[in-house]
Structure 1
């Protein structure tokens, strides 16, 4: 299930950087704010923003975060600040906020539901923090989602990491994110790390949660675009296609516009 393609990385980099610059200029904003997780998507996104010359605020927002995630995030931020004078950073420890929130709301005996709901709450607290800082500085909140996450399997939190102003890498597959990140000299520790959303306070990877690797899911996304179905394949390929279609279907509510109840004109007539 190989998805490797030959990319003109220099041209892609320049295109995205120019797109970011043009958007910021037209929106008359002062810069960008990016949440830094220690993962490859946020590392790439912040590097792209840094190249625009606009002030770029990198924000680390730990909530019971694994030390390895924190170390990778700090390594990337330090490297980026050394490379670009327009980059600055802030650390907002949201652990006390998260714990206070938990103490003020009702709970559930269903541990799986509770854990997932709390994981999404972490993402939404971070979104709120980014918009707060963005508001203070007049910055755009920049999304870090890639194509397979945002438009394939919907692997993000609605109004959490999905709550952003712009999405510069949302047309790049995860495999393409890796290639561009390597080209832009993102730290090896990030390039080699297992993808994880870090929302559960343990070492579970994205693959553990999704049931398939990003390479497999990218393959499935492309096959579905060709009109292929699980019954067209056998073994692991059929299984992966079923996983992809299930996730894509169940997460359509994230990918589609909010449903609006449109009233017939005759109901509005007085």
Structure 2
């Protein structure tokens, strides 16, 4: 979707909801399971799933979550339940599970690698939990990744929040996610909250981790798609472009199919 296109919120909303309903019908499942984080992406995804009229189960999966994330998630789920009879919720407190896991694996003196590995482990515990709920409810796991995260900088955990059945908002940039979420009446506390994945022991934001805002990364994504390179820019623009290019390169393995070693026919 071009960045400068007129954003047709209701038409896009209707398109995604129909796509979700058609996919669920063809897959012969009853509905959807969505992990609710207190962020805008999961709020939008769960609202779109709810609009299908199919059973939509919202799952809270706290692991040492900041109180602000928990309160926003609960507020959103409460609002959805008030608006849609087909929405239900469940709480799976994964903090004890995570602590047990952490006690059973070796530690390392490299704090960066330790915290990063534990953050990814949190995401993978949540993926496992979502698929458990999906299994017992004959449902699909709906992903919450947006276009910049999934296809630009690879800002997700492989086999964690990247492990889903369907991705209803993966062709929307963060800016477009905000526009559609506002159109659908997502609560203001979520619309204005600083994006954060909640996977670390502190309250660091996505921008803290990435080194650039989503708006900046969207700009860089568009520039690269238009064949630009870092030499075309100066100062902050060049810095942002370099950040995007670096992340797009090092996380490429998340965005392509798993490499398969093909055996020559003559060796079989």
1:47-95 Cα distance to aligned partner (Å, 9 max, x none) = 0000000000000000000000000000000000000000000000000
1:13-59 Cα distance to aligned partner (Å, 9 max, x none) = 00000000000000000110000000000000000000000000000
The answer to whether residue 26 in structure 2 is matched with residue 26 in structure 1 is: yes
Equivalent in the alignment of 1:234? 234
**Whole-angstrom CA distance in 2 between matches of 1:192 and 1:203:** 16
The answer to whether residue 179 in structure 2 is matched with residue 179 in structure 1 is: yes
1:138-169 Cα distance to aligned partner (Å, 9 max, x none) = 00000000000000000000000000000000
- Deviation, 1:203, is 1.5
**Where do residues 98-117 of structure 1 align in structure 2 (5 Å cutoff)?**
98-117=98-117
| Gapped regions of structure 1 (runs ≥ 5) | none
Equivalent in the alignment of 1:62? 62
- Deviation, 1:4, is 6.3
Residues 67-76 or 199-208, more deviating: 199-208
Q: The residue matched to 1:221 in structure 2 has which SS?
A: helix
**Whole-angstrom CA distance in 1 between matches of 2:138 and 2:92:** 18
Q: The residue matched to 1:32 in structure 2 has which SS?
A: strand
Is the Cα contact below 8 Å between 1:4 and 1:175 reproduced in 2?
A: no
**Whole-angstrom CA distance in 1 between matches of 2:79 and 2:36:** 13
**Whole-angstrom CA distance in 1 between matches of 2:230 and 2:266:** 46
**Where do residues 67-82 of structure 1 align in structure 2 (5 Å cutoff)?**
67-82=67-82
Q: The residue matched to 1:243 in structure 2 has which SS?
A: helix
- Deviation, 1:5, is 4.8
What is the root-mean-square deviation of aligned Cα atoms in Å?
Answer: 0.7
Query: 1:4 and 1:196, CA in 2 relative to 1: closer, same or farther beyond 3 A?
Result: farther
Equivalent in the alignment of 2:223? 223
Runs of 4+ residues over 3 Å off in structure 1: none
**Whole-angstrom CA distance in 1 between matches of 2:33 and 2:154:** 23
| Gapped regions of structure 2 (runs ≥ 5) | none
Equivalent in the alignment of 1:257? 257
1:99-152 Cα distance to aligned partner (Å, 9 max, x none) = 000011111110010000000000000000000000001000000000000000
**Whole-angstrom CA distance in 1 between matches of 2:173 and 2:81:** 27
Structure-2-length-normalised TM-score: 0.98
**Whole-angstrom CA distance in 1 between matches of 2:44 and 2:239:** 31
Give the number of equivalent residue pairs: 266
